[in-house]
Structure 1
Amino acid sequence: MAPAPPRSSAPSSTFPRERRIRRRAEFVRIQNGGHRVSTRHLLFLVAAPTEGAAHGGARRGTKSAAAPVPSGAPRLGLVASRKVGGAVARNRAKRLLREAFRRFPELFPERVDIVVILRTGAGSLGLDDVLAELRGVVPVLRRRAKEALTAASRARTEVVAERSAGDPPAPAPDQTDPTDPTDPAGS
């Protein structure tokens, strides 16, 4: 039996579940309400995370063996249609974006959900090409992230204000009503 290869002490280059956007409902929410940033081969949709996603993304009642996402960590979702190319080209393009997301976290705004839609021609890009397109839109991505977080904060504040400004509580009913003819104490 061959000895196991030595483990590296370098940081993990995995893409943990907590950093992924995985459920269709999340993709739809971000695609419908996300702030758009476009390049030649990539379309970025930036949205504020929901409360569940912001706290580790685990659904209620499920146990997660992984550590929760750091509070400022962005989450990434990728979409590649057949316009990008065959399965090999689509998977390669998505792998390059995940690699950019892992290795260059400073290029992505914090505390947001990001969906990247790959466009025609993205399958032929290399890592340097992906990074060049990404670096070109970093200021715009940060501005859109700030807009998304501000809009979400404003919406949460309005919901809280509506709840607190609701109908005042009804006064407690009296024990006896003097106008009630059926009440023997009121007669």
Structure 2
Amino acid sequence: MRKEQRIKKNKEFQHVFQGGKSMANRQFVIYALEKKEQPQFRIGLSVSKKIGNAVTRNRIKRLVRQAFLEMKEQLPGYVDIVVIARKPTAEMTYEEVEKSLHHVIRKIPVLSKTRGN
């Protein structure tokens, strides 16, 4: 993902946590905040040390980023998204991660508007 598509600063994460809508399943918690002035969606990832070592955490982040890259056409461009991975993601394959993310995203009104769900 390009630099302008990432949420990196704590202040930006907190803004999404406080003002955004959230939805969760067993594998992920997703927060989404509308920002109409923003030309493209941005994503922030949070994977706790409780989930595993650095190799495991980085693998989860790569899988989540790839899943979002593949569904970027279906996401609105004016949204900040924060994804928090939960413990079961450590053993998941890419297909399982993608399916789980689709499941949670369908439930969030801000993200599902443009998908027709």
Shorter-chain TM band: 0.7 to 0.9
The letter for the 2-side match of 1:88 is V
Which residue in the other structure is 2:2 paired with? 16
Greater Rg, structure 1 or structure 2?
Answer: 1
The letter for the 2-side match of 1:48 is E
The letter for the 2-side match of 1:83 is K
Deviations 1:25-79 (A, max 9, x none): 001111122210101110000012385xx2xxxxxxxxxxxxxxxx2x2110000
TM-score by length of 1: 0.55
Q: Does 1:97 align with 2:73?
A: no
Which of the residues 12, 17, 24 maps onto 1:38? 24
| Consecutive unaligned residues in structure 1, runs of 5 or more | 1-14, 55-70, 148-187
| Consecutive unaligned residues in structure 2, runs of 5 or more | none
Pairs within 5 Å for 1:58-97? 71=39, 73-97=40-64
Q: How far did 1:146 drift?
A: 7.6
| Identical pairs, percent | 34
- Structure-2 separation of matches of 1:26 and 1:106: 23
- Structure-2 separation of matches of 1:138 and 1:107: 10
The letter for the 2-side match of 1:105 is K
Q: How far did 1:107 drift?
A: 4.7
Larger RCO (alpha carbons 8 Å, 6+ apart): 2
- Structure-2 separation of matches of 1:107 and 1:127: 19
Which residue in the other structure is 1:133 paired with? 100
Which residue in the other structure is 1:124 paired with? 91
- Structure-1 separation of matches of 2:112 and 2:91: 32
The letter for the 2-side match of 1:31 is F
Cα 1:109–1:137, aligned 2, differ >3 Å: closer, same or farther? Answer: farther
For the aligned residues, what is the CA RMSD?
2.0
TM-score by length of 2: 0.85
- Structure-1 separation of matches of 2:65 and 2:10: 19
Contact 2:16–2:31 (Cα < 8 Å) also in 1 = yes
- Structure-2 separation of matches of 1:39 and 1:91: 21
Cα 1:91–1:83, aligned 2, differ >3 Å: closer, same or farther? Answer: same
The letter for the 1-side match of 2:9 is R
Deviations 1:64-98 (A, max 9, x none): xxxxxxx2x21100001112111111110011000
Which residue in the other structure is 1:175 paired with? none
